[in-house]
Amino acid sequence: MNILTPPVSPPRDGRIVILTGAGISKESGLETFRDAGGIWSKVRLEDVATPEAFARDPERCHAFYNMRRARHGAADIQPNAAHHALVKLEAQWPGEVLVVTQNVDTLHDRAGSKNLIHMHGTYNQARCNRCEHVIPNTGDLSTSDVCTACGEAGGMRPNVVWFGEMPMEMARIYDALSDCALFLSIGTSGNVYPAAGFVAVVRKHAAAHTAELNLEPSAGATLFAEAHYGPATETVPAYVEGLLQSL
């Protein structure tokens, strides 16, 4: 399904801010959260994705994230055509292209996106809950891990953002949203704030165009000026080509 709501007027220059969610990585082999059969249909988020869950049962949180980290690191998980299209856009667009991903996978990084914010953190880092020290980490975490900075055991956790925690680099994100020519939302259901509220922030700026590229209408679909529905590996390269051809 392809819906265009006229008037559609993508810009020819200026800053582009692109919000991505789990849907962009689906065709790389990673699960989404809220689709049928998705992660939250198998495990309660209250049991694994809140600071309270980690305090209550850190071993359970570690098992959940160790399993997903291992899956993300598997050889068959590779960036797809949508990730690559955003790299091409960053290279060829005459203005700034900023990708703000909610995903904790590293597929945008591996595809080659340079101007990239992981607002919900990444799997490949661990953080000490006691002193906030962050280290690179690609292996399993456990409650016996000791922080190399403060020497405390038991506080090492994935450097991801759980419910009730503040997402990362919010000041930089809101600065970019408040002065962009185009806001693109790709592969996100629009259920989780503050990311779900970004389109409303952008709409306050009359000159900004907004577009949603998703498998189906998101919770905030009516707020976008333009929408294209289909698999990200099809809609994203096509949308990027359209933008670049209009230059």
Residue 73 as a binder of ligand BJW (CB under 6 A): the answer is: no
Residue 53 as a binder of ligand BJW (CB under 6 A): the answer is: no
Helix ranges, 51-181 (H): 51-56, 58-72, 81-92, 107-111, 170-177
Residue among 16, 17, 22, 98 that touches ligand BJW (CB under 6 A) = 22
The order of strands in the sheet holding 156-160 is: 134-136, 121-128, 156-160
Residue among 214, 224, 228, 240 that touches ligand BJW (CB under 6 A) = 214
Exposed e or buried b for every residue in 182-202, given b needs 16+ CB within 10 A? Answer: bbbbbbbbbebeebbebbebb
Residue 237 as a binder of ligand BJW (CB under 6 A): the answer is: no
CB-CB contact of 12 with 246 (8 Å): yes
Residue 171 sits at the vertex; the CA angle it makes with 114 and 214, to the nearest 5 degrees, is: 60
Q: Which of 83, 120, 209, 228 is catalytic?
A: 120
Q: Is 209 annotated as catalytic? A: no
Residue 33 as a binder of ligand BJW (CB under 6 A): the answer is: yes
Residue 117 as a binder of ligand BJW (CB under 6 A): the answer is: no
Residue 232 as a binder of ligand BJW (CB under 6 A): the answer is: yes
Q: What share of the chain is helix, strand, coil (3-state, %, to 5)?
A: 35, 20, 45
The smaller minimum CB distance to ligand BJW, of residues 104 and 181, is found at: 104
Catalytic (active-site) positions: 120
Name the residues that contact ligand BJW, by CB under 6 A.
Answer: 21-23, 26-27, 32-35, 38, 49, 102, 104, 120, 160-167, 187-189, 191-194, 214-216, 218, 231-232
